[in-house]
Structure 1
């Protein structure tokens, strides 16, 4: 068994607490579903947001999901690179798995598909 990273990103329309929390849940649920993983498989989750999203901590939504109470979570702010995608939430899920790197399915939703069109097409 190895620890693998699963990337994901999603955008929201506004710096709104509900949108941020809802989008975080949608993204994590999609990562979990397409990779067939469970909370007990997760070593930790890093959540980052662009600087224009400061209405709430996205990890709040994950922590309130059934089974995710004990998963270590960390939120941080992305480096503000000029011209980068606005209102974006990113996840890095570290999972203990027998899947190879090639089998891992990274998830890019909404406007975040522009970040990695090569992975969004899978």
Structure 2
């Protein structure tokens, strides 16, 4: 089991803008990680307090095979000066052990984790975890 992160932003708090951003990031997460919804254990979406036009999980449910994925939407904690109009995603999924994880940060969210905006070797991340224990 692996955890895959992602984030994106929207230009405005509208259903259309949120649908576009959610579909875009989910397309990228699925493609770059060779991920299929049947491999997903759960998905958590968090949104900043300035986004309330639609639940991101409601958007995801319209994707093929996503109707049986356990999903939840939560509000991101407010921190003064933090990135606005941001949608974050945390996917727990069963992955092939040889698969590199790509954490996807799009639009203005790319500045949140520039170090994770490229494929992450699985073995390197395991080594890092083991060295911290």
Q: Which residue of 1 aligns with 2:104?
A: 107
Number of aligned residue pairs: 119
Larger helix percent = 2
Where does structure 2 lack aligned partners over 5 or more consecutive residues?
A: 120-133
Larger RCO, structure (CA 8 Å, separation 6 or more): 1
Provide TM-score, normalisation by structure 1: 0.92
Once residues 99 and 47 of structure 1 are traced to their aligned partners in structure 2, the CA distance between those partners, rounded to angstroms, is: 25
Secondary structure of the structure 2 residue equivalent to 1:98: coil
Measured on the aligned residues, the alpha-carbon RMSD in Å equals 1.3
Whichever of the two has the greater Rg, that structure is: 2
SS at match of 1:69: helix
Runs of 4+, deviation exceeding 6 Å: none
Match of 1:24 in 2: 22
Does the aligned pair in 2 maintain the 1:17–1:55 contact within 8 Å?
yes
Write out per-residue CA displacement over residues 10-57 of structure 1, whole angstroms, 9 at most, x where no aligned residue. 000001111111211111110010000111110011001000001111
